[in-house]
Chain A
Amino acid sequence: MTNEFVMPSSIDGADEYLASVAAQETRPGFSGWVIPADQNQVIIRHLKENFNYDFLSSVTGVDNYPDPTLEVVYHLFKSTGGGALVLHAQIDRNDPRIASMVPLYRGAEFQEREIWDLFGIQFEGHPDLRRILLWEGFDGHPLRKDWKEPFYEEDVKPYKSRWPEGKASLIEEQNPLRDNVQFPAGFTPKNWTPEGEKKLVDAVKSQPVSEELETDEMVLNLGPQHPSTHGVLRMITATEGEKIVSLKPVLGYLHRNHEKIGERNTFLQIMPYTDRLDYISSMSNNFGYALAVEKLMGITPPERADYIRVMMAELTRISSHMMANGFLLNDLGAYFTPSLYSLEERELLLDVFEAASGSRMMCNYFRFGGVARDVPPEVLVKVKDLVENRLPRKIDELDRYLTNNELVMVRTQGVGTLTDEQAINFSITGPILRASGVPYDIRRSDPYSIYERLEFDVVTKTHGDVYDRYLVRLEEMRQSVRILKQVLAQMPEGPVMTGKPVYQVRVPAGEAFGHVEAPKGELGFYVISDGKPNPKRYHVRAPSFINMTAMEQMSIGWKIADVMAVLGSVDIVLGEVDR
C-alpha cells in the first residue's frame, strides 16, 4: 500500500526514456504508459537491459469490447525491490498480434499461452503457442466479452430472474443439452478429429535425439491420475532411458474460468470465489483481492483489522508450509508419516480460522476496508498459546525429524536446481526464488498492510535445489511465528471495519494491481473497474501457475522419480494453477 521508500522510476531515468517512446496513460484511474504495440519488445528489452526491470511479474490481456481493441498489460518489477511499472499495449481486436516476451522473459511462456487461449491474441515468436487451460479445438476465446458460456443468463449478477419474481428451477433445465456443454453450429462428433494430443506430443518431442547411439525417445505420461501430482495434473515427458529430455505440464483439468466468473460477479461476490483458488491458504487470497479493490476505492482498513489480517495471513503461511514440507516427503516416498505430523498442526490452525470466519478452508473473511467480524477473545488466547508453546516446538520436531535425515538429503540435495538468474527470468516467486538466493519478498520489496512495522528476516539459501526450498519453508515458519508474536503483542483494540458494511460497494473507475506474498509466491490481483458494480477485468496472477513454467528447466537431466521431488518442492495447488 505504501510506496514511500521505493525509488520512483523518474529518478533512474526510465520515465524519461518511456516519455520519448510511449504515451503517458491518461484514462482516469489508470497509471503507467501506453506503448506502441509493434515496439513492445524493443521497449521492454531496453527497460530490462538499461533500467534493471528484470522481473516480469504478470502479463495479461484486457478486452475493451465494444471498442475494437484488445490490450496486453505488462507489470514489470525490479528484483531488487520497488513498485510496478505498468505498460499497456493496444492491438486490433480483429487481428490481434503482438511480439512475444518469451525471448526476454521465459516466465511469460505460460502466461502468453493463457492469453492466447482465453483472448485469442497471437504472440509472434512464442516457441510453443498452444492452448493451455482449454483443449485444442475449443470454440472461441472465453474471456472475450462477447463469448457466452453454456449456462449463460445475463452479463452480470445479480440476475433479474431471482427477485422479486423468482421461480426456482434446476440449472440444467436452462440448457437444451441438459449438461454443461455447448457446441458450435454444425459440429458433429463424428467429423471431429482431436488435434491436441498430436500437437502435445510434437511439442514434447522437439528435442533432438542422440544420433550416435541408436536410441529412441520414449514419451511417458505422468498423470492426470497419479498419487504424487497433488490433484489432476498431467505432465508429458520425453525420456531417454530414465532421464528426462523434455517435459510439458498439461494443465486445465480443474479449469472453471475463475476470471470470467469474476467478471460476471459484483466486487463483493468475488471474495468467496478467491478462497477457491489456492484452497490451502484462502486467507492470503482474500488479502490480495481486498488490497487490490481497496487501492481502487482509496480506503484503508482500521488498525485492528490490519493486525488481524496479518495474523491470519501468517497463520496461513505456517499451515501451507507445513503441508508443503509434509507432502514433499510424501512425494519422496516417506509415505504418510511426515505429512500427518504436519497436518496435525494445520488442524489446529484451521480451528482458529473456523472460530473466526465460520469455515475451515473457505474462509471468506476479508471485506473491503476491514474484516467480516472481530476475532473472538478466546480465539486470540488460543492463537497465543499455539504461537508461544506448540508451533515452535513442532517446527523444531519436524526439523529434527527430517533435516539431517540422510535419505532426505540424498534425494533432494542438488536436485532440480535453479540459479538466481534463471529463477528471476522464469518469473519464479516465493520460497523457490528465495532458495535460489534472491532476497525477494513482497512483504519487504513492496510493503503492504503493516509489514513495514514488523521485524522479520527474508530467508534465503544459495543452492536453489529441492533441499534448500524445504529449508526455506522451514525457516519461514519460524519467521512467521516471530511475526505472530509481535502482532499478538501489539494488536490494538478498536473497530475492524471502515465505514458501514455495504453489499454493493462503489468502486471508482480505474485499474489496480494488489499483490501479496502468499505462501506459494507472489499472488497478484489485477482489477479494472469502469465504475459499474462489476469489474471490467479481473485477473489473478497465480504463483503456482507461473512457477510451473520452470518445471521443465528444473527436471531436465533428472530421473523420473526426481520429477516428483521437484514437483513437491514447487508446492502447487491445482485450484490455483487451473483457475
Chain B
Amino acid sequence: MIGWGVLKGLAVTLKRFFQTYFVTNKLGKNHYFTQEGIESRYNPSTEGIFTIQYPEERHVLPEEFRYLPFLLYEVNSEGGKDYRCTACGICAKVCPPQCIWILRKSDQATGRPVPHPEVFTIDIDICMNCGLCAEYCPFDAIKMDHDFELATLNRVKNLYSMEQLGKPVDYYAKIRPINYQREESARAPKKQAAAG
C-alpha cells in the first residue's frame, strides 16, 4: 500500500518524540545539571534525550583521554620544583609535527651537559595530541593532560614554556589514578635498588 512506509517511519519518530518527553520528565527537576541527570540521559539504555548541556554539564573523561602534554615535577623539601625530565630528547625525536624544543642544561663550570632541561617549549598550535611523547618517555616525565579548554586571544601565547607546562605529580595521580599506580609500582624496585 502506498504511504505505509512513510507512516511507519513517522510512527518511529513520533514514538521517539513522546519518549523523550516522558523519560526526560521522570526525574523531574533533577534531570538537568545533576550527576544523576547526566547519567540517566547519557547511557546506552536511555530512550530519551541524549545530549549533555555543555559547559554547565560535563562528561566524566575516561582516564586515557589525552589532550596536550604536560611536564611532571615533584615538590622538593624546599618547596621547589624537581622536574622529572632528563632532557634525553626522545619526546622531541618522536613528536610527529616536531613541536617540542629542548635546550639541555650544561654545567656552568665544566660545560658538560647535565640531565636537566634548561628550556622546554611546546608549540601547542602545532601539537596534534597524538600522545606519542608520553607513550615513549622512559622517565614518566611527560604525560597527556585532561584540560582541553585553552582558548586565548593571542596566538603567540601558545608557545608554552616550562613554567606553563609543569604540573605536580599529585595532579597526575588525580587524573590518571590507574596509570599512576602501575608506574609507581614499577618504579619502586628501581628506587629501592638505587637507595640500597
Residues of chain A touching chain B, judged by Cβ–Cβ distance below 8 Å, are: 157-159, 161-168, 170-171, 265-266, 268-273, 337, 344, 347-348, 351, 354-359, 362, 364, 372-373, 376, 382, 385-386, 389-390, 397, 400-409, 501, 503-504
Contacts and interface: CB of A to CB of B under 8 A. Distances in A.
A171 B93 contact: no
B13 A337 contact: yes
A109 to B, nearest CB: 33
Given A402-B9, A404-B8, A166 B44 contact: no
Interface residues of B, number: 46
A168 B66 contact: no
Contacts of B5: 403-406, 408-409
Nearest to B15: A397
Contacts of A157: 96, 98
Interface in B14-63: 44-45, 50, 62-63
Contact of A503 (B66, B126, B132, B156): B132
B153 interface: no
B44 A364 contact: no
A91 B119 CA distance: 50
B96 A406 contact: no
Contacts of A272: 96, 128, 130, 132
Contact of B136 (A357, A404, A501): A501
B9 A159 contact: no
Given A163-B100, A165-B103, A355-B64, 13 more contacts: A162-B95, A170-B159, A269-B132, A270-B96, A344-B50, A355-B63, A359-B66, A364-B131, A364-B132, A372-B131, A404-B4, A404-B5, A503-B93
A166 B12 CA distance: 60
User: Interface centre among A162, A265, A382, by most B CB within 10 Å?
Assistant: A162
17 contacts: A162-B93, A163-B104, A166-B103, A167-B101, A167-B119, A168-B119, A348-B44, A355-B63, A356-B64, A358-B65, A372-B135, A376-B63, A402-B9, A404-B4, A405-B5, A503-B93, A503-B132
Contacts of B104: 163-165
Main secondary structure of the interface of A (DSSP, over half): helix
Contacts of A162: 89, 92-93, 95, 98, 100-102
B113 interface: yes
A253 to B, nearest CB: 21
B1 to A, nearest CB: 10
B152 to A, nearest CB: 14
Nearest to A348: B44
Given A166-B102, A382-B44, A407 B128 contact: no
B64 A357 contact: yes
Contacts of A161: 101
A120 B5 CA distance: 53
Nearest to A266: B94
B6 interface: yes
Contacts of A357: 64
Contacts of B66: 358-359
Majority DSSP secondary structure for residues of B touching A: mixed
Contacts of A356: 64
A348 B123 CA distance: 32
B123 A406 contact: no
B70 to A, nearest CB: 14
A164 B103 contact: yes
B151 interface: no
A171 B126 contact: yes
A158 B92 contact: yes
Interface in B95-114: 95-96, 98, 100-104, 113
B44 A269 contact: no
A464 to B, nearest CB: 22
**9 pairs of A and B residues whose beta carbons are closest in the complex:** A166-B101, A404-B5, A272-B130, A168-B121, A163-B89, A358-B66, A355-B62, A269-B96, A164-B104
Nearest to A403: B5
Contact of B94 (A269, A337, A364, A386): A269
B135 to A, nearest CB: 7
- Which of A268, A397, A407, A501 is packed against the most chain B CB atoms within 10 Å? A268
B6 A407 contact: yes
Given A158-B98, A166-B100, A501 B135 contact: yes
A470 to B, nearest CB: 14
A390 B50 CA distance: 14
Contacts of B45: 389-390
A546 B126 CA distance: 30
A354 B62 contact: yes
Contacts of B102: 162-164, 166
A343 to B, nearest CB: 9
B98 A373 contact: no
A165 B101 CA distance: 8
Given A389-B44, A406-B5, A268 B132 contact: yes
A503 B137 CA distance: 10
Given A389-B45, A400-B8, A166 B92 contact: yes
Interface string B58-102: 000011111000000000000000000001011011111010111
B89 to A, nearest CB: 4
Contacts of A402: 9
